[in-house]
A and B are shown apart, each in its own frame.
Chain A
């Protein structure tokens, strides 16, 4: 028994197995297969939001006591605010911030490259504050409500950093 298998590529779609032909040995197959091959570009993608949520939960489970003698552990609300913020970011455009905790109880998000930098922190009061800079530009935001839309000036620099 011989087996011939092939794939069907639908225009602009994913590649899926399309046919399998089983033939008794000694019997030949004659035919022609024509496909239109314009697959989509995104063959694989990361689950960006879930990766960041996992990072926040890892930090919350790890930093349960201050790591400096006079330090403060971030409150549960600070971690919750950070999770809400993640789901408001267009992460394919902004790229992935690094997330850490600071000794003063802040959950900190940071975007940084050669030209741009954003430092953004949650303290558990339902708001966040940020400082950002890009060539020729500086932005500062104080007490931005976590439930509000991400400010355009912040988003603009985050996108250029991402």
Chain B
């Protein structure tokens, strides 16, 4: 019988992104330490590129003009698979530092690897600081489900709960082309304000598919100004927030996906 399947067999996660946002862009003085970072992470991320930022200003006299900045604004470090595609990417751009996982296994392993990378990086860059504290924490999961059947017969009804509160009911009976983009605020941990962005869309490539892109962005009540005070307590507080965001993602998926898919991707246990 035609049904949706996780795009990668046991796993539906295309990419998991854990990210921290600083109050300001990294300064050129910080960027000068990127060579040290490259040495530090050479075993974990053999490919390391420095990045520049381009800013476009659209105005009456300079439409489309682009002035590249003269300084390095970030880096993009990758661990590559045998086919040359990245399995993991560590990236800093503008005011964000992020770890991207394209081979997802378990949350504990993923979160641990991201935090370890962030804190090793902080030690070298001398961040966060009172001048440039961490002000926000973000988690994003992108899931993909492939329709195993004729694309013409694909429908949201075969993947989503009929009473889900996360997409408009209309998408359930309009076939294989639809999208639903939404956002809302709530508190995922101890009154920390968080914005959810949930973009769900259905399309056709080689097969019909549905992508679920859920990001949770938490602004910190107390910005993190140092990574070192009280041993690793700052790591624990960030870890608690990532855990709460992960749980929030689970809550959304459990309300969104039908029971069969929740079993298939391991979010609920298979009944004996």
Question: Would you call B17 and A162 a contact (CB within 8 A)?
Answer: no
A28 (CB) vs chain B CBs: closest residue: B60
Question: Would you call B213 and A14 a contact (CB within 8 A)?
Answer: yes
A45 (CB) vs chain B CBs: closest residue: B14
CB of B113 within 8 Å of the partner chain: no
A29 and B217 CA atoms in complex are apart in Å by 33
User: 0/1 per residue, A5-37, Cβ < 8 Å to B?
Assistant: 010001111100000000000001111111011
Question: Would you call A47 and B207 a contact (CB within 8 A)?
Answer: yes
B140 (CB) vs chain A CBs: closest residue: A12
* Stretch from A48-56, A98-106, A119-127, A133-141 contacting the other chain: A48-56
Question: Would you call A49 and B138 a contact (CB within 8 A)?
Answer: no
Question: How many A residues, CB 8 Å from partner?
Answer: 39
Measured CB to CB, the closest approach of chain B to A130, in angstroms, equals 17
CB of B199 within 8 Å of the partner chain: yes
Report the number of A-B residue pairs with Cβ-Cβ less than 8 Å.
132
Question: Would you call A41 and B15 a contact (CB within 8 A)?
Answer: yes
Question: Would you call B60 and A13 a contact (CB within 8 A)?
Answer: no
Question: How many B residues, CB 8 Å from partner?
Answer: 53
CB of A154 within 8 Å of the partner chain: no
Question: Would you call B59 and A90 a contact (CB within 8 A)?
Answer: no
CB of B42 within 8 Å of the partner chain: no
Question: Would you call B264 and A87 a contact (CB within 8 A)?
Answer: yes
Question: Would you call A40 and B9 a contact (CB within 8 A)?
Answer: no
A88 (CB) vs chain B CBs: closest residue: B10
CB of A42 within 8 Å of the partner chain: yes
Residues of chain A lying within 8 A (CB to CB) of residue B86: 41
Measured CB to CB, the closest approach of chain A to B154, in angstroms, equals 12
CB of B200 within 8 Å of the partner chain: no
Question: Would you call A86 and B58 a contact (CB within 8 A)?
Answer: no
CB of B6 within 8 Å of the partner chain: yes
B56 (CB) vs chain A CBs: closest residue: A33
CB of A1 within 8 Å of the partner chain: no
* Stretch from B99-107, B170-178, B186-194, B245-253 contacting the other chain: B99-107
Residues of chain A lying within 8 A (CB to CB) of residue B269: none
User: 0/1 per residue, B86-111, Cβ < 8 Å to A?
Assistant: 11010101111010101111000000
A49 and B265 CA atoms in complex are apart in Å by 13
CB of B119 within 8 Å of the partner chain: no
CB of A4 within 8 Å of the partner chain: yes
* Stretch from B33-41, B141-149, B220-228, B233-241 contacting the other chain: B141-149
Given A40-B140, A50-B5, answer yes or no on A31-B59 (Cβ-Cβ < 8 Å): yes
Residues of chain A lying within 8 A (CB to CB) of residue B213: 13-14
Question: Would you call A92 and B209 a contact (CB within 8 A)?
Answer: no
Given A10-B197, A13-B199, answer yes or no on A87-B6 (Cβ-Cβ < 8 Å): yes
Question: Which chain B residues numbered 130 to 177 have a C-beta less than 8 Å away from chain A?
Answer: 138, 140, 142, 144, 146, 148
Question: Would you call A29 and B58 a contact (CB within 8 A)?
Answer: yes
Measured CB to CB, the closest approach of chain A to B156, in angstroms, equals 18
Residues of chain A lying within 8 A (CB to CB) of residue B57: 32-33
Question: Would you call B5 and A49 a contact (CB within 8 A)?
Answer: yes
Residues of chain B lying within 8 A (CB to CB) of residue A95: 81-83
Question: Would you call B10 and A90 a contact (CB within 8 A)?
Answer: yes
A40 and B14 CA atoms in complex are apart in Å by 10
Question: Would you call B105 and A93 a contact (CB within 8 A)?
Answer: yes
Given A32-B58, A38-B96, A113-B82, answer yes or no on A49-B8 (Cβ-Cβ < 8 Å): yes
A-B pairs, top 5 by smallest CB distance, nearest first, are A28-B60, A91-B8, A89-B9, A47-B146, A91-B9
10 intermolecular pairs with C-beta atoms under 8 Å apart: A11-B96, A13-B213, A13-B215, A32-B57, A33-B57, A38-B91, A40-B15, A45-B7, A47-B146, A49-B148
Beyond A4-B63, A95-B83, 8 extra complex contacts between A and B, CB < 8 Å: A29-B58, A42-B102, A50-B207, A87-B6, A87-B264, A90-B103, A95-B82, A113-B82
